[in-house]
Amino acid sequence: MTLYETVGQLQVFVWMLAAGALMGAWYAVTALLRRLLEAGTWLGLCADAAFGLGAGAIFCLALYTANRGQVRLYAVLAAMLGFALFAGGVYPPGKRVISAIIVIFRRIIVIIRNYRWINVIFK
């Protein structure tokens, strides 16, 4: 794409919008892992580094695929918009659903742990 070409801009915008949403999903996964593992300082630092590396890889791969590696302001803004749409639209209700599933899963584990034969087998 040349400097004044506008033909492929919509395709690049949609690619980067999807990349931003994918980065938001990656953030949700790393946040879920931090919560499940009850991350301390070092594990939290590792999770943050994994998020940063993953988000950077997603961004660079999408930018290279959609725009042949050319950095354009609208592409960067599209990625930020995709992340914001995921964080504001999909993430809050999804977080509540996942939290409810985790609570149910933990209750099931507590119930199973109280069975005598489970204690005998896994002792």
State how far the Cα of 103 lies from the Cα of 98, in Å rounded to an integer. Answer: 9
Contact partners, residue 82, CB within 8 Å, separation at least 6 = 16, 17, 18, 19, 20, 21, 22, 23, 24
Assign 17 a pLDDT band (cuts: 50, 70, 90): very high
Closest CA to 20 of 85, 83, 77, 67: 83
User: Quick one: average pLDDT of 26-46?
Assistant: 83
Please answer whether residues 107 and 51 qualify as being in contact, where contact means their C-beta atoms are separated by less than 8 angstroms.
no
Q: Where are the domains of the chain?
A: 9-121
Q: With a cut of 90, say whether residue 108 has pLDDT above it.
A: no
Q: With a cut of 60, say whether residue 1 has pLDDT above it.
A: no
State how far the Cα of 16 lies from the Cα of 10, in Å rounded to an integer. Answer: 10
Q: With a cut of 90, say whether residue 67 has pLDDT above it.
A: no
Distances from the Cα of 22 to the Cα of 42, 69, 75, 81, 95, angstroms: 25, 18, 15, 12, 16
Q: Out of 29-38, 69-78, 106-115, give the one with best mean pLDDT.
A: 69-78
